[in-house]
């Protein structure tokens, strides 16, 4: 019937909690090995991580509604639009110039997604306008999250640049967890927050946790296009 047997807000929340715990463990391990030499705490830098955390919170929760409205196949196809949003935001926020070939590739990507969806019946397109609105929101929220994360992780020569990635991730995932808890507490109606969770839900939590940690390293040492 298009609904989930569990509270979908709990999946991103659990992912953020697990990423936070793993980042703390990795940080402590690096500290014991002596790999961490400089860590600073500044309120401005700390709260700056709330912006990408909010963007990821919106994007991760949009995913469940898009799948419910449009189906997993359409979600996977339209997810490629994140690359276009990322390219535009990288140009605006990071001043990253793209080659003419890269812009043509982005345009072809959008055209490919549009042509694929023309095979869908007209009445289906009309009935799922809310789903496509969420696709646009998801694309730009994900792109904004990636761009602001790259900006904060790399620091552009500031003190943030010298901070270990584990410490940066701890700050990012802390805010992600706060947003997740706020949304989960407002929607939980059962005595157990994980009521209805099945093996697939737990598998989604684990896979998204590992993917999120890997993405942070990609943004730190490469860029958003490598992530896409």
| Per-residue model confidence as pLDDT tens digits over 172-207 | 999 999 999 998 877 665 557 788 888 989 999 999
How many residues does this entry show for the chain? 228
Instruction: Report the distance separating Cα 103 and Cα 141, nearest Å.
Output: 20
> Is the pTM of the predicted complex or chain greater than 0.95?
no
- Give burial (CB, 10 Å; 0-12/13-18/19+) of 21: middle
The separation between the first and the last C-alpha atoms of the chain, rounded to the nearest angstrom, is: 32
Looking at beta carbons, which pairs linking 116-125 to residues 24 or more positions away fall under 8 Å?
A: 116/77, 117/74, 117/77, 117/78, 120/74
Q: Classify the C-alpha dihedral 87-90-93-97 as positive or negative.
A: negative
Report residue 211: phi and psi, to 5°: -65, -40
Residue-wise pLDDT tens digits, 14-69: 999 999 999 999 999 988 888 876 777 888 889 999 999 999 999 999 999 998 88
Residue-wise pLDDT tens digits, 39-48: 778 888 899 9
Q: Is the pLDDT of residue 2 over 80?
A: no
- Give burial (CB, 10 Å; 0-12/13-18/19+) of 99: exposed
Return the minimum-mean-pLDDT range out of 139-143, 161-165, 198-202, 220-224. 161-165
Report residue 139: phi and psi, to 5°: -65, -50
The answer to whether the CB of 161 falls within 8 A of the CB of 154 is yes
The answer to whether the CB of 153 falls within 8 A of the CB of 219 is yes
């Amino acid at each position: 019937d298009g609904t989930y047997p569990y509270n979908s807000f709990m999946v991103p929340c659990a992912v953020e909690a697990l990423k936070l715990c793993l980042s703390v463990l990795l940080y402590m391990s690096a500290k014991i090995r002596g790999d961490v030499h400089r860590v600073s705490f500044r309120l401005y830098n700390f709260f700056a991580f709330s912006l990408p955390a909010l963007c990821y919170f919106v994007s991760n929760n949009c995913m469940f509604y898009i799948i419910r409205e449009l189906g997993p196949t359409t979600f996977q196809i339209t997810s490629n639009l994140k690359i276009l949003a990322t390219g535009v935001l990288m140009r605006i926020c990071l001043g990253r110039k793209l080659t003419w070939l890269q812009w043509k590739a982005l345009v072809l990507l959008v055209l490919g997604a549009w042509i694929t969806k023309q095979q869908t019946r007209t009445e289906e397109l009309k009935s799922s306008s809310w789903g496509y609105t969420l696709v646009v929101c998801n694309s730009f929220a994900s792109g904004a999250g990636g761009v602001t994360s790259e900006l904060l992780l790399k620091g552009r020569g500031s003190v943030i640049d010298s901070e270990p990635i584990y410490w940066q991730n701890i700050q990012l995932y802390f805010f992600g967890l706060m947003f997740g808890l706020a949304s989960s507490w407002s929607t939980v109606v059962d005595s157990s927050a994980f009521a209805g969770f099945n093996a697939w839900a737990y598998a989604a939590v684990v896979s998204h946790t590992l993917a999120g940690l890997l993405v942070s390293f990609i943004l730190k040492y490469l860029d958003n296009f490598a992530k896409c």
